[in-house]
Structure 1
Amino acid sequence: MSTFELSADIRKVFGRKTKQLRAKGVVPGNIFGKKIKSLAIEINKPGLIDVMRQAGETGLIHLKIKGDDKTHPVLVAGYAQNPVSGEMLHVDFHEVDLTQKTTAMVPVKAVGESPAIAQGNLLVMLKNEIEVEALPTDLPDVIEVDVTNLTEVGSHILAKDLKVDRSKVTLSVEDEEQIVTIQEPAKEEVIAPPEPAEGEGAPTTEGDKPAEGEEAKPAEGEAKPESKKDEPKAEK
């Protein structure tokens, strides 16, 4: 696994006053763990974001606090961002014991090219991340899934096929659980026009209309309407 280094200072500003820190490009945070009391810290934002982008949830960070001779081995436990601007508001670190196993969510990444994709089918990731248990120094950065042997619809890769060191890493999924599979693209449903209800006639088309000056022909079984010229004249 990858390891990273990060520097921090003890934080003496709390509550609403932390806005002053953020205005200066500093992010407030905390460290917690079984063998440490919660420790308030502050970190330079550019350096923090750069390390977090690379470390993710499984990268071990050696956190050095100014004035403290001890280096803290930590994992990113969580963070808060402004929902509108995306500004980093707060970060929490979990200090780990390098001799004790811990759990973390590891991203799953497809690698290689599947022949089935070239045929117009879809590669479906059924698991985008998997929880694993391992020593902090053995946590994988990513679990890669080679899809080059997925050649047809229905082809899949199971959890037991994943290439991880099982002597060091335990996966939280069943061996027979599918991780990735090939599926056909969804077909567009063709909706047929509704049929006329019983007793309703077919709609009149332009060709069914009588020509100008002609009378409409009565429907079969109907009497022909009497012409006005056949009406008897009233006697005077």
Structure 2
Amino acid sequence: MKSITINGSKRESVGKKATKALRNAGQVPCVLYGGGEPLHFAADEIAFKDLVYTPDVHTVSIELGGGEKFNAVLQDIQFHPVTDAILHMDFYQIFDDKEITMEIPVHTVGTARGVKNGGVLRYNLRRLKVKGLPGNLPDFIEADVTALKIGNKLYVTALESEDYTIQHPENTVVCQVKTSRNIIADTEDDEDEVAPGDVPATETDDVAAVKE
């Protein structure tokens, strides 16, 4: 997983007055948890641009000067209700030998067979909560939807990996091909059909598709 470096400085005072002064100076007050006592620091708001305003996920290397460096993940963020300016950020320190839980984006691959026949691919989940060692977590999880016909659903069990554990029930649907007004008959020969065993964790619900 890609990492972003944040250069900051320790906060000597954490009172409301000091926090307001930091924000007025264009800095964001932050707290780092997970390594013992909470560590308070601040960094320029612009430094968080590539971490916050992106659909991707990253780990963070927090450098506070004097050789102090911490690996972490973003845990929580607070925005101003009117201006959307970043008010506060919480980070959680990570270690190479300790598992963490993160939400990883799902990227679909291929064009679903059902979409070619007029169906619509609908996403139930754009991100999956997974648990694993930091070095084993991917930038994204790849989901091949090529074999999905109208009425098929792709479950999280089709995306399992030895590198991480998916923190969702087995019956959780990632995406599915729904029927639409533009539906056409699937005219491909039966011998071109994908056997049920070749489409792990999918389910055909022809009755539901007809009703819709």
TM-score by length of 2: 0.75
Distance 2:46 2:95 in 1: 27
Compare CA radii of gyration and give the structure with the larger one.
1
Q: Offset of 1:53 from its aligned partner?
A: 3.7
The question of whether the paired residues in 1 share the 8 Å contact of 2:23 and 2:87 is answered with yes
Across the two proteins, how many residue pairs are aligned to each other?
181
Matches within 5 A, 1:20-31: 20-31=21-32
Matches within 5 A, 1:11-160: 11-13=11-13, 14-33=15-34, 35-53=35-53, 58-67=57-66, 69-150=67-148, 152-160=149-157
Name the SS of the counterpart of 1:131 in structure 2.
strand
Aligned-residue CA RMSD (Å): 2.4
Structure 2 residue runs of 5 or longer lacking an equivalent are 182-212
Output the amino acid matched with 1:158. Y
In structure 1, the residue matched to 2:201 is none
Change (3 A) 1:118 1:169: same
Distance 2:69 2:53 in 1: 21
Identity of aligned pairs, percent?
23
Distance 1:53 1:99 in 2: 29
Matches within 5 A, 1:130-209: 130-150=128-148, 152-162=149-159, 166-185=161-180
The question of whether the paired residues in 1 share the 8 Å contact of 2:115 and 2:150 is answered with no
Output the amino acid matched with 1:155. N
The question of whether the paired residues in 1 share the 8 Å contact of 2:30 and 2:90 is answered with yes
Distance 1:31 1:177 in 2: 33
In structure 1, the residue matched to 2:194 is none
The question of whether the paired residues in 2 share the 8 Å contact of 1:154 and 1:182 is answered with yes
TM-score by length of 1: 0.68
The question of whether the paired residues in 2 share the 8 Å contact of 1:2 and 1:55 is answered with no
Structure 1 residue runs of 5 or longer lacking an equivalent are 187-236
Change (3 A) 1:109 1:83: farther
Distance 1:88 1:180 in 2: 32
Output the amino acid matched with 1:116. G
Q: Offset of 1:81 from its aligned partner?
A: 0.3
